Amino acid sequence: MALVRRIARPLLAAPFIFEGVRTALRPEREIDVCPQAFEAVDSALAKTSAPGFVDVRAVIRASGAVAAGAGIMYATNRRPRAAAAALLVTTSVGWAGRRRIWELRGQERVQEIQSILRDAGLLGGMLLAVVDHDGRPSLGYQVNQFVERSQKKAQRKQRELEKKTQKLGKKTRSSVDSAQQKLAAQRG
């Protein structure tokens, strides 16, 4: 299975890296897809207290850079689950700006449907990558195991302390008994 992952990860990451670099270099291409949405975001950014140099292009560039970086991390098996989650988030944002296929006709509609299905397949692959443990247990499982081990250790320590307490109790009783016997012998 490790060989399959070594081959599959770069193949799955390649489109994300390519699109991420392309988006980071030419954010206008993304803006042209749905200009109304980006104009609304741009005006919302202008109204906030964000610095003046933050505009839609900067946000799109950053998103592209994150996607490219996460794709490289995934392809090289560096934090693959976190990288896959980042790819999933950056790619999902792009779905909001999709063209409405019911308004398209002919070959343009077919191409848009193919694009949607291709992207859906990539998103499905990323969803699988997010939950792929690569033979290692999940963080939740590791935490549960840690808690169970800690509870067992605590119970073991408690039993040891109870045994020591019993031994000390016996020693104390025998010391008290012998002291009482010595006192009784001295008095009587």
* pLDDT per position as a tens digit, 170-182: 999 999 989 888 8
User: What interhelical angle do 80-94 and 56-75 show, nearest 10?
Assistant: 150
How high is the pLDDT of residue 168? 93
Most confident among 52-56, 112-116, 148-152 (mean pLDDT): 148-152
- Confidence class for position 106, pLDDT limits 50, 70, 90: confident
Asked whether residue 24 carries a pLDDT value surpassing 80, the answer given is: yes
The mean pLDDT value of the chain amounts to 80
- Confidence class for position 6, pLDDT limits 50, 70, 90: confident
- Those residues with Cβ within 8 angstroms of residue 164's Cβ, 6 or more apart along the chain or in another chain: none
How high is the pLDDT of residue 28? 74
Most confident among 14-18, 36-40, 96-100, 103-107 (mean pLDDT): 14-18
Cα of first residue to Cα of last residue in the chain, in angstroms, is 86
Measured in residues, the chain has a length of 188
Pick 96 or 164 by higher pLDDT: 164
Pick 52 or 119 by higher pLDDT: 119
The Cα 81–Cα 134 span in angstroms is 9
**pLDDT (average), residues 22-29:** 80
**pLDDT (average), residues 101-110:** 81
Pick 51 or 22 by higher pLDDT: 22
**Tally of CA atoms within 13 A in the half-sphere of 118 that contains its CB:** 8
The Cα 37–Cα 165 span in angstroms is 73
The Cα 112–Cα 103 span in angstroms is 11
pTM of this prediction? Answer: 0.56
Pick 28 or 20 by higher pLDDT: 20
pLDDT digits (tens, 9 = 90+) for 134-156: 666 777 788 889 999 999 999 99
